[in-house]
Structures are given as C-alpha cells and as structure tokens.
Amino acid sequence: MYRLENLDLLYLFIIIPFLIIVFLINKKWKKTQLSYFGNKDIINSIFPNYSFKMQNIKFILFTLSIFFLCISIVNPQIGRKEVEIKRKGIDIIIALDISRSMLTEDIKPNRLEKAKMSISKLINKLQGDRIGIIVFAEKAFVQLPITTDYSAAKLYANTISTDLIRSQGTAISSALELSINSFNQESKTNKIIIVISDGENHDQKAIEIAEACNKKGIKIFTLGMGLEKGGLIPVKSKQGVTNYIKDQKGNTVVSKLNEEVLKLISEKTNGIYIRANNTEVGLEKLLEEINKIEKSEVGTKVFTDFNDYFNISILICLILILTNTIMSESKNPIKYIYEN
C-alpha cells in the first residue's frame, strides 16, 4: 500500500506554478530590457557568453529541486506489514448536495462551505466507524468509497465544490440509490445515510427509496442547509465580478430551504431531521443519534508498519541544487567552471 504521510501539506506544491509564472514574467522583462540595446547581433556582441537556453535549464533544475523537496516533506511511504484490526462501529455515507443553490450565503460563509466544515468536524469525532462520501446535483457520484482512513476522508471533503458536477438539480433519489449500492450488502454492520441539502427541488422518488432503505434497515438522517428567508445565489465571473442567478423571466432567484422532502425522507426510516443555522449545524445532536445505534465488530485490514522514502527525494533534490549551483548561464558552462 502506498500513502503520503503528510497529506495536509500537499498545498506546498502550489509554489511550483507560482515560480513558473514569476520566471516567465522575469524572462519577458529581461528580453524587453535587452531589446533597448538594439538588434540580436548587437546584443550578442555585448553579451557574448550569455545564453537564454542555459537560463531555462537552470530554472528547470531549480523547479525540479523544489518539487522533490515538497515530495520529501509529504513523505511517500510503502506499507510492509498488514494486520487485521477489530473495531466496533457502523457504516456511514454522507450524501452532500453540491448544486449551485448550496452557494447561497444565508448561512455563512455559504451553505456548502458550512456543510464541509461540519463534515470535517464529524469525521474528527468518529471512532471505529467507516465513512464514505457521495456528492450529488442532477446526478450523483462517489467522492470517497467507504473507508476508515479519516485523514483521506477530510482531504476529499475539503476538495468538494459545485464544479464537480456541471448539470444542475437536486436529485436526492440518485444520491440515496448510489448510497445503498455503496454499502457492503453482505456486511451485518448497521448502516446510516446522512443527507446534507437545501432540499430545494422536490424529489418524490426519494420518498420511495427512503422506504426501501427502511426495509433494508438503513437509517437516514437529513440536515437542512439554509434559512427560511433564503438568499441569492452568487456566481462569480472569470474577472471576479459577482452576479446572481436569474430565472427565465430575468428575475433574480431567491433560494430557500425546503424542509418538507428532507423531513419525509428521515421519517420514513425513523431517522431525524436537523435544520442548520448560522450558530450551529446540529452536529452534537447528530452525534448523539449516531452513538445510540448499536455498533458491530468490524475487521479491517490495515498496514501498521511503513517504510519512509523521503530520503530518496532529498538526495535527488540535493543533486539538482548542486548541479544548478555550479552551472552558469554562459553558452559554455564547462569552460566557465574551468576558468573559475
């Protein structure tokens, strides 16, 4: 099994595109400054040994050294010892609505971001339970298969955005169907589905699927994201200008929480409905209900011993830095090293 020990430090790789942008801007500026001296022949006579090609090579070496440094920091690991660990828990699938209405800011910072923060907090409270994440709008897909890897679960939760599904809608029925199929049907572990949505679109088929869940012994808890007064749905342009979604008649759409369908879905399985607000999402109440459910002993095969491979990345990084240091930007770097 391969893994990265420090997944939370993956953001360090952002520095690489930033360096590339700075380099390209600086390169363009240098060319502009050199053009003031005249044509290419005059520039070559003034700077006979200068080479843009060598400058590019040095930058590539520098960027690669930063890349391997970042790899060493996140620390690639390979598992070498697999054991089965017995845990007591339940299987949980979170079905998160990522339709555009979830960008409404009646709940701060917006419905979706508040939901994502709550999911991370919930994961932090789990002990031995397996968790999976499904996202849905008009369609649904698995964002994270059921796992006990809570670090991965939080990472995947943080990457969720409305851009993951382009077709719009709130097909809770699709999310419930996919959730049922994502559970291990042979497992006797108790199962629950947590639907987080503003329930904006009516989805009567979801009621029928909730009844099927009840027959299978799967409980559904629903979290209503939004306030009764609702709010406008912001859409930012590429230029960063904020506009608001309008209907076919040109009227600005006001997105409001639709509790009716969410309440019905949870009632069909003897689950509970919780309405979020700006103060709290109802996490404590949700955890209280989860803890009431009988936990089953689950055997999970995990790697307990890992080999670190950061040292290989560090070695490559040092070689690249050393090569970059002794290499000049002259047309003949070997001659430059010899003469100096």
What average pLDDT does range 291-305 have in this prediction? 72
pLDDT at 320: 94
pLDDT at 340: 44
Supply the mean pLDDT for the chain.
Answer: 84
Q: Would you say the C-alpha torsion 35, 41, 47, 52 has a positive or negative sign?
A: positive
Comparing 89 with 213, the larger pLDDT belongs to 213
pLDDT at 241: 66
Tallying the residues shown for the chain, one arrives at 340
State whether 40 and 180 are in the same domain: no
State whether 23 and 113 are in the same domain: no
How many domains are there within the chain? 2
State whether 320 and 271 are in the same domain: no
DSSP state letters, 84-145: EEEEEE-EEEEEEE-SGGGG-TTSSS-HHHHHHHHHHHHHHH-SS-EEEEEEESSSEEEEEE
Q: Residues with Cβ < 8 Å from 293, sequence gap 6 or more?
A: 90, 190, 192, 219
336 falls in which pLDDT band (50, 70, 90)?
very low
State whether 185 and 290 are in the same domain: yes
Pick from 220, 231, 230: nearest CA to 274 = 220
State whether 313 and 288 are in the same domain: no
121-135, 247-261, 296-310: which has the minimum mean pLDDT? 296-310
- Contact assessment for residue 164 and residue 124, using Cβ atoms and an 8 Å cutoff: no
What average pLDDT does range 67-88 have in this prediction? 81
111-115, 228-232, 244-248, 261-265: which has the minimum mean pLDDT? 244-248
pLDDT in tens, 150-176: 888 998 999 999 888 777 767 899 999
State whether 43 and 20 are in the same domain: yes
pLDDT in tens, 263-276: 999 999 999 999 88
State whether 43 and 178 are in the same domain: no
Pick from 1, 6, 21: nearest CA to 73 = 6
pLDDT at 212: 92
CA distance 87 to 193: 20
pLDDT at 302: 61
pLDDT of 332 strictly over 70 = no
50 falls in which pLDDT band (50, 70, 90)?
low
CA distance 333 to 324: 11
pTM of the full structure = 0.68
Diameter over CA atoms, the chain: 85
Report the Cα–Cα distance between both ends of the chain, in Å, rounded: 49
45 falls in which pLDDT band (50, 70, 90)?
low
Pick from 177, 173, 181: nearest CA to 265 = 173
- SS3 at position 259: helix
State whether 112 and 246 are in the same domain: yes
Comparing 95 with 255, the larger pLDDT belongs to 95
Report the 10 Å Cβ neighbour count for 138.
Answer: 14
State whether 31 and 137 are in the same domain: no
312 falls in which pLDDT band (50, 70, 90)?
very high
State whether 257 and 135 are in the same domain: yes
Residues 143/145/150/152 CA torsion (nearest 10 deg) = -50
State whether 45 and 158 are in the same domain: no
Q: Write out the E strands in the chain.
A: 2-4, 76-89, 91-97, 130-136, 140-147, 191-197, 218-224, 231-232, 234-236, 242-244, 254-255, 273-275, 296-308
335 falls in which pLDDT band (50, 70, 90)?
very low
As given in the structure block, the two tokens for residue 269 are 């399985």
CATH number at residue 282: 3.40.50.410
pLDDT of 224 strictly over 70 = yes
pLDDT of 297 strictly over 90 = no
State whether 211 and 286 are in the same domain: yes
The domain of 191 spans 84-300
Inter-CA distances, 188 with 87, 215, 298, Å: 14, 14, 9
Interior/surface letters 185-212, b for 16+ CB within 10 angstroms, e for the rest: eeeebbbbbbbbbbbbbebeebbebbee
Comparing 229 with 43, the larger pLDDT belongs to 229
